[in-house]
Amino acid sequence: MPTSEPTTLTATEILLELVDAEGRTIGTAEKLSAHLSPGRLHRAFSVFLFDPQGRLLLQQRALGKYHSPGVWSNTCCGHPYPGESPFVAAARRTAEELGAGPVRLQQAGTVSYHHPDEATGLVEREYNHLFVGIAEPEQHPAPEEVADIRFVTPAELAELRAARPFSVWFGTVLDAVLPEVRRLLPEAGW
């Protein structure tokens, strides 16, 4: 779930935090090298924001992204800098990508996965920290990060997933976060 970082750095200059199977930090690696086959387990985060009606805010990744360009995914995702807490990174990137003001995020667990991305030849091997929250009604996505956004109901999400490509990690992180979403938004039908 790579994201763009400050424009002065490239994917080979940004460091990610490598972790063991329990999520303990064991070192660092360049962002791109961590995503080359067979992949190296590293820390990531995924944010799922919902509007007051319980619709999920999706983003279509910008076409200029080096990994998974143009595909739909969860509200925001990325990697903490080494030593940065996943919560701080999730709040930071949500603001950078969506132009959202302060968002109240709540931790919703973790999930690990190893997903090759046939479209790019890269690998997502992540220890992913999950967060949920309520979205502001108006978003101002950064065009270098986000091509489009959409609020969807569960039925609309199913239709969109049948018609459009989604990130290789989306199904895994969605399944992992749904128990917390159902607890927070029981009337939304997730």
CATH number of the domain encompassing residue 84: 3.90.79.10
User: Band of the pLDDT at 67, cuts 50, 70, 90?
Assistant: confident
57 inside domain: no
**Is 126 inside a domain boundary?**
yes
DSSP secondary structure string for all residues of 126-166: EEEEEEEEEPPS-----TTTEEEEEEE-HHHHHHHHHHS-B
- Looking at 17, 77, 124, 145, which residue is catalytic? 77
Q: What's the number of domains the chain is made of?
A: 1
Instruction: Report pLDDT digits (tens) over 141-164.
Output: 999 999 999 999 999 999 999 999
Q: Cα–Cα distance between 3 and 47 in angstroms, integer?
A: 13
**Assigned domain for 83 exists:** yes
Is there a domain that residue 80 lies in?
yes
The answer to whether residue 61 sits within a structural domain is: no
Residue 123 lies in a domain: yes
Catalytic annotation, pick one of 124, 126, 145, 180: 126
Query: Would you call 156 a catalytic residue per the annotation?
Result: no
Residue 137 confidence (pLDDT): 78
**In the prediction, which pLDDT does 102 show?**
67
Answer yes or no: are the C-beta atoms of 24 and 91 closer than 8 Å: no
Q: Is residue 8 part of a domain?
A: no
- Asked if pLDDT for residue 188 goes beyond 70, the answer is yes
For 178, the domain range is 15-47+75-140+168-184
Domain assignment present for residue 101? The answer is yes
77 tagged catalytic? yes
> Residue 24: helix, strand or coil by DSSP?
coil
pLDDT in tens, 89-117: 999 999 999 987 667 899 999 999 999 99
